[in-house]
Structure 1
Amino acid sequence: MIASRFAVVCALLFGAAFVGAAPASGAGTDGACPDGGGVTVVVDFGDLGPGSLVRCAPGTPSNGIAALQEAGIDVAGSQKYGLAVACRINGKPGPDVESCAGMPSATAYWSYWHATAGGSWTSSQEGAQTAKPAPGGFEGWAFARPKSVNDMPAPPRVPPVRQAATTAPAASGEGSSFPWGLVVGAVVIVLVGGAGIVVARRRRAQ
């Protein structure tokens, strides 16, 4: 009976150890995509701050909105048009600038751009919900505040340049995401508990 209970406890301990080892889920990665590694999304917040955001959407996103989402960037549409109109990106602009009830103001809105790696930004000729990002290309968003409706918005200030790939250091025990401490602790518990069972049986035998 003692042995069976101990086996159950050990199983629970090992289960807890490996649940803790599960990697955290999250879409996209920081920085530009490596060559052939996805679509790079650049967001220039303009005067909204704090600057620009560059993230990689892996694979081939189905449209411009999907590229934002798969890069791990929040996007909210308008109440009337949904995601056919990108009204807020990562929560900006706030409601003090744009209510997001319908179409954004003609003097405060997100402009949408495309580029090839190492090329130049080109203003998109269609909406982000229907535009298909080019494989390995760049998707750009820049918050525009033109002085009049006739002024053309400026492209993102971050050039569509692919960053050189860096070699990740070899995995080691230090800094590794695998919880070796939990596993070692569980093994120690097993050994100590096993020794306790042996001692208990010997005492009974006496």
Structure 2
Amino acid sequence: MSARNRPVRVAIEATEKRAFASAVDWPGWSRTAKTGEAALQALAEHAERYAVVAAQAGLSFAPGEYTIIERVRGTATTDFGAPDVPTAAERQPLTSADAHRMVKLVEAAWAVLDRVARDAPPSLRKGPRGGGRDRDAIVEHVLAAEHAYARKLGVKVAAPHRGEKTAIATMRGTIVEVLRDARSADALVERGWLPRYAARRIAWHALDHAWEIENRSQA
């Protein structure tokens, strides 16, 4: 490992059916598979894609060795396909610098999704059984999910729709304000979600669908 590279701290969330591997220090860099080992491999395989997010945030990104620091038991939501369990690392207090960095990565995930959706064709390649949403439906799904996530942070705004730039900016800007002002693991508990977990879930969802659009835009 070169002097520039930094170990990647990973948390594994798993059930008997599905697992997620999430890079603790990089919100949104989370991948899923049937086992923890396969999810970890998928995480490593997506390092180059996540590098685009880090660059968008203006952060140096040079992953080194992958180290599992925590394993948590997943839930029915994990089985359904979303990371659902906060880790011990996400219960640690946030400094102002921590919060600022975290927010930059969430905003970068949104920027990547918006750029990918803008450049993608309206109709996407279907799955083996002809399934899968097209581009606009994916964007609407992400925005609806973000509106639900916002409520977990105590954010009450109108639900935006695709193309409503002002409404989208208002919702995301309010989410950012809450995350940036969070200073302890207890800050958002009464609202529903821990700040670090909220950042991970929001960024993961945006990137998961950005990468889906990229994959399904290919012939």
Instruction: Report the TM range for the smaller structure's normalisation.
Output: under 0.3
Higher percent of residues as strand: 1
Give the greater-gyration-radius structure (CA): 1
Q: Report the TM-score when normalising by structure 2.
A: 0.26
Higher percent of residues as helix: 2
